[in-house]
Amino acid sequence: MNPSAIDPQSGTYLVRGLNWIGDAVMSLPAINALRTNWPQRHICVVSRHSSAPIYARLSGPSDVIPEIRTFSGRCALVSSLKNRAFAGGLIFTNSLSSTLLLRLGGVPNLCGYLRGIRGLWLKKAFKVDKKVEIYHFCFRFLSLVRLLGLKTPFSLPKIEAIQLPDRFGLPKGFKICLAPGGAYGEAKRWPTPLLAQAAKIILASRSGTAIILGSQSEIKDCLKLEEALRGGPTTINLCGLTSLNEVMSIMSQCALTLANDSGLAHLSAALAVPLVSVFGPTSPLGSTPLGRAGLVETLRAPAPCSPCFKKMCPKPSKICFEPLTGEVAAKAAFKLLDKNIDLGPKAAIWTQEVGRLNWPSQIPKNIKLIALEPTAQTPQPPVGSLIIKSKAVSNQNLASALHELGFSTARTLWISDNHQDLNAFSALGGLTALIVTERTVENLLEIYQSPKLPTLTSPDVGWALDWLADL
């Protein structure tokens, strides 16, 4: 799309943000990319009232219009939009209703993914293929910005919490946040006994307090957890009592968050609070929380029926969660709490196979390229790459070769569209980025059953390198 079609230099630009907290967090890299293109342009975000505080912390000239999901609330939104002049808008949501509300409000030049019949009301409707549905959500939203013809550097979702007055009298010292809820449905909630077991193990080792957080709709789950912790560690249940701003303020004071695949998990990662996130019927490929180095542990176990993405589990027990015991989660938590974070130099491995995946001409300055030794018949690596001899390309030999060059596997990224290559490097403790191609679509079920999923799922190499650079 020609950037001039959206008048990139002037006029307020509207973004229809995401309704759920986790989705809102994952859209921040896309909005940051808009800001990179338009440092001084005013950006107005419309979002559901519940996620509006996420967007209230945007840099540069901006504001947020909350949408209240009642007839009168939507009429008020339309009226508010009509009273302002917009140059255009980008819609992150998939629904027809959000598109129609913006059109009723007089917002011109609306762009978004083509979903159902809503393309009739969009200036530009971008087709969605099967590959887009596999991207991590951060890249699904960022891809929309790219389709506008704009520059799209990737940066991790980050939120700076505002410290609010403590009206709950929370104790000082070591605190962990427990988030047992999940708006999508009951199936993806880690069973309460397992979450309680993990919290007890952690707080038996490090004396402190468990803070239970959740929304009004999650009170039942939070009360169950509070009961499971009775007689154990000191527990304060604040479910349904806090605003989202207060949740961010409280969470930022905690040493750790234990959560399902939920909005609060993404919030914790964006706030740089160490996080153990547990996945069952949903897939980390598309929605693992992206956080800074050494601050996120995503737990999942391959199961024949996972990911099913069902809201209610049809089986007698959630078999996708059974291997993810409290002991497993506590072990992951202690790894984060011990803060043995490797902050050594970063490297990305270039191979002959992935040389065809459109490596960018410029590599982030804080990343060194390491190439596996080419032959006369294979493409030559980029100029300046460090070379690993071919005899080192096998499990522990590769780890040793990296060490000799001054790099660790924990700070080295293997990029490929071949998940089997990534599995081998994951076994060495390395970072992996799966580049989504037709091969990915064909092998998706096999990928889901891998012992360990890729660290990142990206449409292209450039964004994978941006992600590594920002860790």
pLDDT value for 355: 61
How far apart are alpha carbons 67 and 434 in whole angstroms? 36
Over residues 121-134, mean pLDDT: 90
Mean of the per-residue pLDDT values for the chain? 90
- Calculate mean pLDDT across residues 332-357: 83
Q: Which residues contact 403 (CB under 8 A, 6 or more apart)?
A: none
Dump the DSSP string for 291-322: -STTSEEEE----TT-S---SS--SSS-TTTT
The pLDDT assigned to 1 comes to 41
In this structure, of 306-315, 409-418, 449-458, the range with the lowest mean pLDDT score is 306-315
Q: How confident is residue 240, by pLDDT bands cut at 50, 70 and 90? A: very high
- Mean pLDDT confidence for 104-129: 93
Backbone region of residue 371 per phi and psi (left: phi > 0; alpha: psi in -120 to 50; beta: other values): beta
Residue 47 confidence class, pLDDT cut points 50, 70, 90: very high
Residue 36 in contact with residue 153, Cβ under 8 Å?
yes
pLDDT at 5: 43
- Residue 263 pLDDT exceeds 80: yes
* DSSP label of 361: S
Paired tokens of 415: 């990029």
- Higher-confidence residue of 145 and 317: namely 145
Cβ–Cβ < 8 Å for 445, 307: no
Q: Residue 95 has which token pair?
A: 């629904």
**Token pair for 109:** 């030049």
Q: Is the per-residue pLDDT at 395 higher than 70?
A: no
Q: How far apart are CA 337 and CA 209, in angstroms?
A: 15
Same fold, 3-147 and 175-337: yes
pLDDT score of 58 more than 70: yes
pLDDT for residue 386: 87
In tens, the pLDDT along 347-384 reads: 998 877 666 677 787 889 999 998 877 666 666 777 78
CA 139 to chain centre: 9
pLDDT class for 9, splitting at 50, 70, 90? low
Which residue ranges make up each domain of the chain?
A: 3-147, 175-337, 346-470
Question: In the CATH hierarchy, which top-level class contains the domain 175-337?
Answer: alpha beta
The CATH number of the domain covering residues in 3-147 = 3.40.50.2000
What is the per-residue pLDDT for 36?
Answer: 94
**What is the C-alpha separation between 351 and 370, in angstroms, rounded?**
9
Query: For position 213, what pLDDT does the model report?
Result: 97
Q: Where are the alpha helices (DSSP H) in 229-366?
A: 244-251, 263-270, 284-287, 326-337
Region at 75 (left for phi over 0; alpha for psi -120 to 50; beta for the rest):
alpha
Show contacts of 424-429: CB within 8 Å, 24+ apart: 424/395, 425/349, 425/398, 426/451, 426/452, 426/454, 426/455, 427/395, 427/452, 428/395, 428/396, 428/398, 428/399
| Reported pTM | 0.93
Measure the CA–CA gap between 291 and 298, rounded to whole angstroms: 11
CA contacts within 13 A on the Cβ side of 409: 17
Per the model's pLDDT, the better-predicted residue between 258 and 49 turns out to be: 258
User: What is the C-alpha separation between 400 and 394, in angstroms, rounded?
Assistant: 10
Q: What is the mean predicted confidence (pLDDT) over 109-130?
A: 92
Per-residue model confidence (pLDDT) at position 287: 94
pLDDT the model gives residue 152: 94
Q: How far apart are CA 81 and CA 16, in angstroms?
A: 12
pLDDT of residue 375: 63
Rounded average pLDDT over 77-100:
94
Tens digits of residue pLDDT in 152-209: 999 999 998 888 989 999 999 999 999 998 777 788 899 999 999 999 999 999 999 9
Q: Which residue has the higher pLDDT, 420 or 38?
A: 38
pLDDT at 454 over 60: yes
Over residues 300-316, mean pLDDT: 87
With pLDDT > 70 as the criterion, what percentage of the chain qualifies? Answer: 94
User: What type of residue is 161?
Assistant: A
CA–CA distance from 458 to each of 146, 275, 388 (Å)?
Answer: 14, 22, 25
In CATH, what number does 346-470 get?
3.40.50.1000
pLDDT value of position 158: 95
- Per-residue pLDDT at 279 exceeds 90: yes
* pLDDT at 392 > cutoff 60: no
> In whole angstroms, how large is the CA radius of gyration of the chain?
23
Q: How many CA atoms lie within 13 A of 87 on its CB side?
A: 14
Share of the chain above pLDDT 90, in %: 65
What's the pLDDT at 463? 95
**Beta strand residue intervals within 154-224, DSSP E:** 175-179, 209-212
